[in-house]
Structure 1
């Protein structure tokens, strides 16, 4: 019998490194060094409770997907690192991670979530639009145009959190 569960980890946990490497390898394949000039320093403590969280989804003890949030401001959690291993895709796991992050952010006291995705990630854009995220950009514009000044390549979304919406996700 297959068993799936969430587990909290520190983002610098050794067992997380292979899936993080997969994420960063995919970013490199899609974007080359486009985002390297704007690379932000990420601190482990940003993703530790109570202001942050890093979770993995495991199936039979194997990490298959991940996601995180950190404080964007006092009322807003910024979702980060939502990713599914390539061999586990097309099972709705990104949505499972997204909903769990929303539920936990609400429980931690956040009132809304914010996230960005890259201009070459149409599957992520579709996921967020289909699940109540409000784009902060023109969805009808060619996404590649967001790689040109005055833009920075990131497509921004926001979503208010509500008890009803996150209860439906549990």
Structure 2
């Protein structure tokens, strides 16, 4: 497991050159797993959706200045963030980095007033399914069913309200 002091968390735009390896490797891996070019799916959402001004964020974990993991969320609705593009570089897997990315994204979503996280993962991504189950996400599908018969596997997690958020938004919907 990586020590937290060895990693730096940064927020970056999709256009940052350090994001390129994330998106390239993710697209390549999805293409192998699903047997079709997945790079179009990776770029399906406009880059702006992953910026603070649009209710989103993209973050990278850097080790010695190099990206080793990352992920993002976008605004799903007024109170919900949608996790996207959770990734760990293939040379750095099995170190708990994806868990750290999810924790950082949850922290950021909570700070922005989101009350819930929604996400989907693919049926051929058992590592992702395991990650979300292990980090407290509720599956919104029959976990006993063959994932291939379900399609995208949806999950959700309700986030704790912060003291500031409760005082500011008492009785109102959260505004990210």
Query: Shorter-chain TM-score: which interval?
Result: 0.7 to 0.9
Q: Measure how far apart 1:83 and its partner are.
A: 0.6
Deviation at 1:34, TM superposition (A): 7.9
Deviates further, 6-15 or 38-47? 38-47
Q: How does 1:127-146 map to 2 (within 5 A)?
A: 127-146=131-150
**Aligned CA distance change for structure 1 residues 75 and 139 (closer, same or farther; 3 Å):** same
1:99 maps to what in 2?
103
Between 102-111 and 32-41, the greater mean CA deviation after superposition: 32-41
Distance 1:38 1:13 in 2: 19
TM-score normalised over the length of structure 2: 0.83
| Cα distance change of structure 1 residues 37 and 144 upon mapping to structure 2, 3 Å threshold | farther
Q: CA deviation at 1:36?
A: 8.0
| Structure 2: stretches of 5+ with no match in the other structure | 163-176
| Greater alpha carbon shift after TM alignment, 43-52 vs 7-16 | 7-16
- Determine the structure 1 residue equivalent to 2:27: 24
- C-alpha displacement at 1:120, in angstroms? 0.4
* Counterpart residue number, 1:48: 51
In structure 1, distance between residues paired with 2:149 and 2:134: 22
Q: Match of 1:79, SS?
A: strand
Corresponding residue number in structure 1 for 2:159: 161
Q: Deviations over 1:3-62 (max 9, x none)?
A: 311011111222211221011100001012286897873101100004000000000100
Distance in 1, matches of 2:58 and 2:65, equals 17
Could you list the structure 1 runs, at least 4 aligned residues long, displaced by more than 4 angstroms after superposition. Answer: 34-40
Report the aligned-residue RMSD. 2.0
What TM-score comes out, normalization by structure 1 length?
0.86
Q: 1:67 to 1:133 in 2, by over 3 A?
A: same
